[in-house]
Structure 1
């Protein structure tokens, strides 16, 4: 469940597990941001699928449009705001529950904290691996450039104090470690 997502997302592995041929996908021309921070994702397409919540005695069903993405995920699908609006879902992230009106009673969909933690951890590891793999060529290119020596003092013209300062020691065992403090600071 992702109340911040404006999309319902289905991973390609889930589509394959459902034995739905990829020829059923409709083309999507635009990418969407936010799957991994700072990066865009390009869906393979979109598909309308029937979805049902509840059990035989109390259920709601409808058709949701999912964007199908071609990368690994620790989930089968992500239900976003379009799902919540269609089914009038109220998410409670604290208790990992979705509640929606049913024909006979409130329908509850829930998970366990251990399952949610496992999924979140897997998702974090996958996202980190993807980001690292996309940043690797950039880091290699960066390593060939001259790296400045940040331990070398910079020119005094880069930053000039607006008032007179004095050096104050910050480490009694090493007199070379000092910080500049303004001499005109109020006592308070």
Structure 2
């Protein structure tokens, strides 16, 4: 369940695991923004798949359109607003429940908090890896070079304070032990 997704997303690994041929995909013209940080992503295509919630005595089936994507994900699929609308489902993220009308009664889909926590941890690790793969090259280009010998530091590479400071001795017997404090501190 994704409270913010405007798409139903299916990962290519899931499509392959379902033994569905890529030739079944329809051409996709739209693109995603911010699914991958600071990048646009194009889906491989669309596919219509039947989705069923419930049990044999009380179930609801609909055909959903999924955007098939070829990037890493920690889930098999993401059900977004189009799914909730078609099934008239109401997600409750606090209790990890998805409720929708069925032919005989309300259909309730539940998850365990331990399972949700495991999925969140996997998703966090994956998101961190993806963000780092985009951020690290940028940081490398924009950062100052690493100097292994601090004696080679020039004044332009050194840390510069933005406020006026002064040195204050902390040990009257040793004048080298000082701290730097801001000169414009407010008295309270």
* Interval containing the TM-score (normalised by the shorter chain): 0.7 to 0.9
Deviation at 1:175, TM superposition (A): 5.5
Aligned residues: 175
1:48 alignment counterpart: 48
Higher mean alpha-carbon deviation, 131-140 vs 108-117, is at: 131-140
Paired with 2:134 and 2:53, the residues of 1 have a C-alpha distance of 38
Paired with 1:33 and 1:21, the residues of 2 have a C-alpha distance of 27
2:62 alignment counterpart: 62
2:127 alignment counterpart: 127
Deviation at 1:122, TM superposition (A): 1.0
Whether 1:178 aligns to 2:186 is no
Cα deviation, 1:98-121, whole Å, max 9, x if unaligned, reads 000111100011111111111111
1:103 alignment counterpart: 103
Q: 1:37 to 1:104 in 2, by over 3 A?
A: same
Q: Normalising by structure 1, what TM-score?
A: 0.79
Deviation at 1:146, TM superposition (A): 10
1:142 alignment counterpart: 142
Cα deviation, 1:124-173, whole Å, max 9, x if unaligned, reads 1112112222233323333477995462345xxxx89xxxxx97x7x967
Q: 1:134 to 1:56 in 2, by over 3 A?
A: same
Q: 1:120 to 1:104 in 2, by over 3 A?
A: same
Q: Normalising by structure 2, what TM-score?
A: 0.79
- Asked if 1 retains the 8 angstrom alpha-carbon contact of 2:144 and 2:157, the reply is no
Paired with 1:172 and 1:83, the residues of 2 have a C-alpha distance of 66
Cα deviation, 1:52-101, whole Å, max 9, x if unaligned, reads 11011111111101001111211110000000111111111011110001
Segments of structure 2 that go 5 or more residues without pairing to the other structure are 148-155, 172-176
* Displaced runs of 4 or more, over 4 A: 143-148, 171-175
CA RMSD of aligned residues (A): 2.9
